Structure 1
Amino acid sequence: MATSTFKTLFKLLGGDQTLKLKDFPLDNLRIDSRKVKENDAFVAIKGSSVNGRKFIPEAISAGAVVILIETHKKSNDLKIDYLKKDNQLVIPQINVFQLSQRLSEIANDFYHSPSKKLSVIGVTGTNGKTTITQLIAQCTTLLNDKTAILGTIGNGIYNHLEPSINTTASAIDVQSLLADFVKKNVKVVAMEISSHGLAMNRVKGLNCAATVFTNLSRDHLDYHKTMSKYAQAKWSLFNPDEKEKHVSNSGKSIINYDDKYGKRWIEKLSQVTAVSCQPKFLRRLKALNTPYVGVSMIEYHDKGAKIHMESTWGNAIINSRLLGEFNVSNILLAIATLLTLDYPFFAVINMASFLKPICGRMEVIHSNNNPTVIVDYAHTPDALQKALQASRIHCKGSLWVIFGCGGDRDTGKRPLMAEIAEQFADRVVLTNDNPRTEDEMNIIHDIQQGFHNNKEIQVITDRAQAITQTLAKAKPNDVILIAGKGHEDYQIIGKTKYHYSDQETVKQLLGIESQL
């Protein structure tokens, strides 16, 4: 069944309805020519590295019946040219003024505002997005709500995800995926929203039931250039100023009070729930004129934590199976989101104790008489520090860390990662982590600038060998944190993506399956 028609598309673009245009069905908008099928409209915009106009012939050959291109001249807006197919001028090409900025809203209208028919929960922040969306999906699924996820690990119905390329999909793919979820009777969508996604207007047509802020620390400065611009991109998800909004509706806000940016943002928002995992802040939370979720005490142990929670909705004890203080924060933010959306208090609390660790997020692999291995996605200074601090709680011997830094990305964080590793680990091994087109030794050299005692640092660029040699040296009471890749099952060297998995490497060496 067609999603729309050519005349309908032209109308939602603002086109003149008195024009005599031939009408025909349209099934989908496509921004990737490789996904184009019969009766699709192909959107050819200029990306960060490739100009979509280059692929117009390919899209027409695949069956595209309409082409949208961007014009920077307002006078050319909605001008229609015709392109050849089978030597006939039959494919309308519409010039659209500021197409890139408008694309999310255009796609939203084309797919009949799917986010208004779903309970979309948008999660943003430097760290924790994947864990929180997964925890929300686990909980709502246990509560019998059909739930989907859009994010780093994949897109789709919970537990049936298709791999994703970006944390936040393109403006068109977001709306297309949401429309598909509506057809499949999904009720809840837990969605990661990256700073890139916000800055590039990928979610401008989105209606959220709730938006969540986790934390903000150094990352992506290769793109945003300054922390101020990075913070502004995140804030745009919540900003109540209509002129500055980066979503159609941000819904109710759930904000981490423990983050310095979060503290400031809570004061600017009206419909907001404040969340803290710091017992010292409980009194302040109670004094706020807003709903809150906090803790009076946290008891950490080898298998997780016992959380003494207090909130506007009631008090409870939660037995968490996730490691580390930052995961207490993630759990509380997930719980606060569901409570803010009027899920029953006791049902949410009962489900919370069943929540399982997330793939590649403080994922424990252990067997008798071998070191405990923890695989985590930590690839920022703040995330690495928190992962090491969490690992230390469960370490009775030496704490090892194996990490690297991505090539063609923010170089300024590399020595900061070294400082953190040296401060919080006993033994450090540097290795590759998606060097891409950079020389691997240049990346290692950048990291080494942050160490005060390079003699204690081992360099093994081959990641599998780094893990192999570390496991051979470590003792049974030691803990080895392998940081940076988490769920990723590839290594990018040059422009080639090779299959590689930290988990598979460890399991093969130890001959075991992952367990808690």
Structure 2
Amino acid sequence: MYIHFPENKMFDYIEVYGRGAAEVTSIVFDSRKSQKGAAFFCMKGLNQDGEAFIDEALQKGSTVIVSQNGKRMKELSLSYPALTFIEVLNTRTAAAQFSAAFYHNSCRDLFLTGVTGTNGKTTVASYIRSILNVLGLPAGMIGTNGIWSSREKLPFRGSTPTTPEAPDLHRIFSEYAEHGEKAAVMEVSSIALDQKRVEGIQFDVAVHTNLSPEHMEYHKTFENYREAKLKLFKQADKAVVNADDVLGAEILSVFPGRVLTYSLNRDVQADIHAYAITPSETGTSAVIEMNGHAQHVFLPVFGEYNIANILAAVCTALHGGYSLSRVLEAAEKIEPVEGRFQVVWGKEKQKIIIDYAHTPTALDQLLREVKKQNGRRVILMLMGIGIRDFSKMPRMAATAEGRADQIVVSVDHPGDHEPQVIIDQVLSGFRHPEDPSISTALNREEAVRKALSLSSEGDIVLLTSGCINGAQIVKGQSIPHSDEKVIEEYFEQNGCGQQRSI
């Protein structure tokens, strides 16, 4: 795309230095991906500042450099008069604005849903995608489980764990529109909102799942975290709100558009309720009621909290103009969510549950559901996450203590930390860390194998937390990992097979 910046003002800037026009072939924020014709945005991350990599971007062929450092932009323009250097007030805002324009504002051609909340984002987003696809509206999904079209998972390596940076995000929207997708649902994290990755996007629907303390390593205070979450509802036409959550009332008090609320408590005022929730080995039956109309459904999901997640997805589809009867029929056909109460059966009838529960609240909910399956021993794999808030780790241990027959403590995404340091932080939350039922493993693969080795016929093995985009983050590298593959190899090596269920 040939751009004459003074005439075609695609984003807000203070001054253009050097050449006023350039042929732009791509947008990058990682200098290693710079190439001929790239526009390099000097964005500041948690550990690196793009300013430090301008020289590398230039060496690799970038023709446009965008930065908040006006003095340096002016100086570089004297050394490279044939290139374009642009001073902006906020590089992240500029990147979001320019990316949207560069990719022809493709997001406007999609029925776009943003999902935010502490727990359940991935599950709700997956359910929405699945329901819309069954209803005949081709929908893609963007989030922790990767980038999906309406048909399959795409080979796209995310720039961040949950919500991609703006240049990647708008490129995905463009590819969706080009390949015939009519809708997209995406997880919108609090960090993404704070870092302006979705700046300028107007969502058709914003969904709120729940709120509890998380990402304190970034936000520092719960108030900052809460305020970040609320930003999504300032850029949406309609909203879906969990009436059972403390943040729900606040959203309802300030959101000017149409809102649908959901609840698992019939005593709570909401637009749609679910009750008579009855679990089984193959799913959950429930009655869903709206406007006095009650309908019995059987859903291929497990856990009461996932019935709440179903309601969030149902409300989103209702906002899309579909009838309740059609949406509930579609909900009965939803696809299982990778790594979210995903059940794998061992040949010795161990019920292995892979679930992303990575907060005290989510872990508590998971353990409550497992408790309903009386008489079965529980082996719990409990993880400390090295790239997250260390103060959360002892609370995870306190939540788990006394609620499993065996606990294996290990590490997810150690980042730059030594695994033993993370393990010790988790152990500090137990009242009795010396209990022989508590053991440790230095990495996730070793922990999965240990948990399986501690199980016997009929036991439940809970593998909590998990990978981000199919990988573990270790010292800046994404190391591929699959619990399913480890489970399969374990049973093969120990002389018995395993089969996958729902």
TM-score, with structure 2 as normaliser: 0.90
Equivalent residue number for residue 191 of structure 1: 186
Correspondence for 2:207 among 209, 212, 227: 212
Aligned-partner Cα distance in 2 for 1:18–1:504: 52
Name the structure 2 match of 1:347.
Answer: 326
Aligned to 2:38: 40
Is contact 1:139–1:348 with CA below 8 Å preserved after alignment? yes
1:438 is matched with 417
462, 472, 476: which one aligns with 2:457: 476
Return the alpha-carbon distance in structure 2 between the equivalents of residues 38 and 127 of structure 1.
41
For the pair 1:53 / 2:51, whether they are aligned, the reply is: yes
Distance, in Å, in 1 between the alignment partners of 2:308 and 2:179 is 32
Amino acid in structure 1 at the alignment position of 2:131: C
1:132/1:333 contact within 8 Å kept? yes
Name the structure 2 match of 1:310.
289
- Counterpart of 1:265? 251
Cα RMSD after superposing both structures: 2.7
Are the aligned partners of 1:77 and 1:97 in contact in 2 as well (CA < 8 Å)?
no
Output one character per residue of 1:128-150: Cα deviation in whole Å (capped at 9) or x when no partner.
11111111111112222221211
Q: Give the SS at the match of 2:88.
A: strand
Measured in 1, the distance between the counterparts of 2:108 and 2:14 equals 27
Residue 388 of structure 1 and its aligned partner are, at CA, apart by: 1.6
Q: What amino acid does structure 1 have at the position aligned with 2:361? A: D
Asked if 1:145 corresponds to 2:107, the answer is no
1:465–1:38 Cα change, 3 Å: closer
* Partners of 1:363 and 1:375 within 8 A in 2: yes
> 1:413 maps to what in 2?
392
Structure with higher RCO (Cα < 8 A, 6+ apart): 2
The answer as to whether partners of 1:435 and 1:492 remain within 8 angstroms in 2 is yes
Q: What is the correspondence of 1:387-466 to structure 2 with a 5 Å cutoff?
A: 387-394=366-373, 396-454=375-433, 455=435, 456-466=437-447
| Runs of at least 5 residues in structure 2 that lack an aligned partner in the other structure | 492-496
Would the alpha carbon gap of residues 184 and 376 (structure 1) be closer, same or farther in structure 2, given more than 3 Å must change?
same
CA–CA distance in structure 1, aligned partners of residues 348 and 402 of structure 2: 27
Aligned partners of 1:419, 1:452: CA distance in 2, in Å? Answer: 8
Look up the match of 2:177.
182
User: Residues of 2 paired with 1:338 and 1:279: CA distance?
Assistant: 22
Superposition deviation, residue 423 in structure 1: 4.3
**Aligned partners of 1:118 and 1:80: how far apart in 2?**
42
SS of the equivalent of 1:411 reads: coil
- Aligned partner letter, 2:165: S
- Asked whether the equivalents of residues 96 and 166 of structure 2 are also in contact (C-alpha less than 8 Å), the reply is yes
Equivalent-residue separation in structure 2 for 1:492 and 1:273 (angstroms): 38
User: CA separation in 2, counterparts of 1:386 and 1:233?
Assistant: 25
Deviates more, 1:267-276 or 1:378-387: 267-276
The one-letter code of the counterpart of 1:347 is R
Q: Which residue pairs with 1:515 in the alignment?
A: 501
* Gap change, CA 1:477 and 1:29, over 3 Å in 2: same
Alignment of 1:227-242 (within 5 A): 227-239=222-234
> Which 10-residue stretch deviates more, 481-490 or 221-230?
481-490
How far 1:453 sits from its partner (Å)? 2.5
CA distance 1:93–1:23, change in 2 (3 Å): closer
Q: Distance in 2 between matches of 1:457 and 1:229?
A: 35
Is the 1:83–1:92 contact (alpha carbons within 8 Å) kept by the matching residues of 2?
no
Q: Is the partner of 1:452 in helix, strand or coil?
A: coil
Deviation string for 1:97-127 (max 9, x for gaps)? 2223443233323333322221110000111
Q: Is the 8 A contact 2:10 2:101 kept in 1?
A: yes
| Corresponding residue for residue 243 of structure 1 | none
Which of 97, 101, 116 does residue 109 from structure 1 map onto? 101
1:61 CA displacement:
3.8
Q: What does residue 164 of structure 1 align with?
A: 158
Q: Helix, strand or coil: the match of 1:238?
A: helix
Amino acid at match of 2:245: D
Mean Cα deviation higher: 121-130 or 348-357: 348-357
CA contact under 8 A between 1:81 and 1:94: conserved in structure 2?
Answer: no
Q: CA deviation at 1:441?
A: 2.4
Matched with 1:245 is: none
Segment drifting more, 309-318 vs 328-337: 309-318
SS in 2 for 1:366: strand
Structure 1 counterpart of 2:117: 125
| Counterpart for residue 494 of structure 2 | none
Alpha carbons of structure 1 residues 8 and 299: separation in structure 2 relative to 1, 3 Å:
farther
Q: Which runs of 5+ in 1 are unaligned?
A: 240-248, 286-291
Q: Does 1:357 align with 2:336?
A: yes
Q: Which one is further off, 293-302 or 34-43?
A: 34-43
1:124 and 1:28 map into 2 onto residues whose CA distance is: 29
Q: State whether residues 411 and 419 of structure 2, in contact with CA within 8 Å, keep that contact through their aligned partners in structure 1.
A: yes
Is the Cα–Cα contact under 8 Å of residues 77 and 96 in structure 1 kept in the other structure? no
SS of aligned partner of 1:317: strand
Cα distance change, pair 56–370 in 1 and its aligned pair in 2 (3 A) = same
Q: 1:320 aligns with which of 278, 299, 302?
A: 299
Shift in Å at residue 409 of structure 1?
A: 2.5
Matched, 1:275 2:262: yes
Q: 1:78 to 1:143 in 2, by over 3 A?
A: farther
What's the TM-score, normalizing by structure 1? 0.88
Does the aligned pair in 2 maintain the 1:133–1:149 contact within 8 Å? yes
Contact kept in structure 2, 1:78 and 1:96, CA below 8 Å: no
What SS does the aligned partner of 1:173 have? helix
| Structure 1 position 53, deviation (Å) | 2.8
Q: How much identity, in percent, do the aligned residues show?
A: 27
**SS of the residue 2:200 aligns to:** coil
2:500 is paired with a residue whose SS is coil
What is the deviation of 1:495? 4.2
Deviates more, 1:473-482 or 1:386-395: 386-395
| Letter aligned with residue 192 of structure 2 | G
Counterpart residue type for residue 448 of structure 1: L
Does residue 499 (structure 1) correspond to residue 480 (structure 2)? The answer is yes
8 A contact 1:127–1:214 mirrored in 2: yes
